[in-house]
A = this chain, B = another copy of it.
Amino acid sequence: MNQLKPVALTSGGFAPFGDVIAIEDASHYPINQGFAERYSDLARVDIAAERGEVNISIVTAEPRPYPIDIRLMERHPLGSQIFYPLQDRDWLVVVAETLTDIASFRAFRATGRQGVNYARNVWHHPLLVLDPESRFLVVDRKGPGNNLEEVWFDEGVEIVVMP
C-alpha cells in the first residue's frame, strides 16, 4: 500500500496544479473609505472554453473514514475549479501530475483560510474534509460539453492524516 503524508499547502508547492487562494503573500490595497482591504485577482478562472460560463455553487461535505483510501481521481478538461472553505478548519487536497506515476501524487493540508483553484485538466481527488458538515464555495464552469473525466484505480493510495 502506498502512502501519502499531507504537507502544508503553499502557493509554490501547489503551482503545478493551480492557485492557492489566500491573503498571505498577496498584494492588497484599502477600499471602502479605509474600512476594508482588498486582496485582488487571486486565481486564474479559466471557464470560457466552448461557451462556458461561471457557475457559483455551495458544496457541503462529510469526512471519509480513515485511513482515507484514494481509489479515484478526476479532472475537468473544459474548466478550472475553485474550492474555498466556509469554516476556519483544515482540509485536504490530493492531486497528481500523471495518474500512471504514483510518485507524482501530492497530498496537501490546507488551512481554513486557504482555497484552491484546480487548473484545467489537473487530476485531483474529490473534496476531502476533516470535519462533519463542512461547507465550501465553488467557482467552476457550466456550459455545453463533457467537463468530467474520472479514473478508478484497483490499488489504492492510502493517505495518512497527521494529527
Contact = CB atoms under 8 A, between A and B. Distances in A.
Determine which residue in A23, A47, A86 has the highest number of CB atoms from chain B within 10 A of its CB, and name it. A86
Contacts of A149: none
Contact of A36 (B55, B62, B142): B62
B84 A59 contact: no
B72 A55 contact: no
A127 B36 contact: yes
A138 B42 CA distance: 10
A127 B38 CA distance: 11
Given A84-B137, A139-B139, A35 B55 contact: no
Interface residues of A, number: 46
A58 B32 contact: no
A150 to B, nearest CB: 10
A21 B56 contact: yes
A64 to B, nearest CB: 6
A40 B53 contact: no
B88 A32 contact: no
Contacts of A45: 53-54, 56
Contact of A60 (B36, B61, B86): B36
A60 to B, nearest CB: 5
A146 interface: no
A46 to B, nearest CB: 9
Contact of A127 (B32, B39, B53, B115): B32
Contacts of A72: 33
A127 to B, nearest CB: 6
